[in-house]
Copies of this chain bind each other. A is one copy, B any other.
């Protein structure tokens, strides 16, 4: 049922490519779905993939191009002749995919490709779509849709659909418009099928339709379509003219990509890497956050250097450095991730930032108190050193309190400033909290041992 790529399969392809056996290769690719061909190409060298790709024709070639992961596609398009991109691939694509691919090209190549597109309507659609912000509804919608006039009958409608349908791969809804493309509502194919041919459309369509504007942010579009389980959503401009539609597959991709990005952020990976990627790409992706960790560690060493005298006289203080650091890190990551996830999943609530911080303060107060008491009990019975026992407990309490507070505050602030709040998760918050934690711990420790 599903196509599975084996090592033998790839090896056979590599041999066929080396032998320049294009007939056999074409026959092999023939039954494959474009998504599968893209996967196969991923396992070939750039030169082999290019060879294979140029054997594909028409719609299949353009469908495969869409399925190639973005960063591979960029490299791939660079080795293809520009006139090929324009005339052979872009013309067959839906406008949203075509616009995405054109948007990705370098300025010069972009102009060249646009000029080469013979289908004026397609070229016009692409240029229109490129006008919108990349992450707005306008930037992700497709112009291809089937629209009918509210004054038509079912019969006229069916005739018109058969004319328009060629361009549109999947018709989920028929969009009903009047005068100058003003959007009125949607009509399901089911309704068209189930009603007599002389019925007027105005009696059949559903005017209560959830729609978005061209300027609506991508996140919000995904959230709305997910919430209302919509297979497609109409996009209108500010005066209500129907401009395009966005389909469910864009939502799935968006949800997945957002989740992956947040996950990479919290795990300290820069960029989209997989275990299969080249070793140097994996190293590059890990480097930035490790460097932050290193700098944080050096800062930590400087902080501790300041307290050398205390460490010298009370060695036991050093024992609890890892505990303080770990708890500060864990609490910080917990707090920041709860905030980031609630922002990402589009939770809209009536809580204001202030109210949320207050609650976080309550929660972390209780949590910090519990753990301060636990470590107090342990140290009281094990360490036999009241100054140390008190220093550790009180520090832990304060450290957990502020780590949690910052973990909540910083992503909220970033979000207000329109900066990705996920930046404040993972290694960043851990490193910051580590250093502040050491300051607090030794500050309090010094106090206890000097004055008690």
Q: Which residues of A contact B (CB under 8 A)?
A: 1-2, 4-7, 10, 31, 33, 35, 43, 158, 161-162, 165, 170-172, 188-190, 192-194, 208, 210-213, 224, 226-229, 231, 248-249, 251-253, 255-256, 259-260, 262-264, 266-269, 273-276, 279, 282-283, 286-287, 289-290, 293-294, 296-298, 300-301, 304-305, 308, 311-312, 315-316, 318-327, 329-331, 333-334, 336-339, 341-342, 345, 347-351, 356, 359-360, 362-363, 366-367, 370-371, 374-375, 378, 425-427, 430-431, 434-435, 438
Contact = CB atoms under 8 A, between A and B. Distances in A.
A375 to B, nearest CB: 7
A276 B339 CA distance: 10
A189 B276 CA distance: 41
B165 A190 contact: yes
Contact of A274 (B190, B336, B338): B338
Contact of A348 (B4, B331, B434): B4
A286 B335 CA distance: 9
A363 B274 contact: no
A39 B220 CA distance: 16
B300 A228 contact: no
Count of this chain's copies in the oligomeric assembly:
2
Given A231-B248, A249-B229, A269-B337, A275 B359 contact: yes
B434 A322 contact: yes
Given A193-B193, A311-B315, A366-B279, A263 B330 contact: no
Contacts of A194: 161-162, 165
Contacts of A158: 193
A339 B289 CA distance: 18
B359 A279 contact: yes
Contacts of A345: 256, 260
A231 B250 CA distance: 12
Which of A35, A323, A431 has the most chain B CB within a 10 Å cutoff?
A323
Which of A255, A331, A334, A435 has the most chain B CB within a 10 Å cutoff?
A334
Given A171-B189, A330-B268, A35 B290 contact: no
13 contacts: A1-B211, A1-B212, A33-B228, A162-B194, A231-B231, A252-B255, A264-B337, A267-B333, A269-B338, A274-B341, A290-B331, A293-B327, A326-B434
A9 to B, nearest CB: 10
A347 B276 contact: yes
Contacts of A190: 161, 165, 170-171, 189
B371 A290 contact: yes
A171 B188 CA distance: 9
A106 to B, nearest CB: 28
A267 B334 contact: yes
A224 B1 CA distance: 11
Nearest to A166: B194
Contacts of A336: 267
Contacts of A300: 319, 322-323, 326
A289 to B, nearest CB: 6
A338 B263 CA distance: 10
Nearest to A146: B190
A167 to B, nearest CB: 12
A162 B347 CA distance: 40
A81 B316 CA distance: 61
Given A255-B252, A304-B318, A318-B304, A337 B267 contact: yes
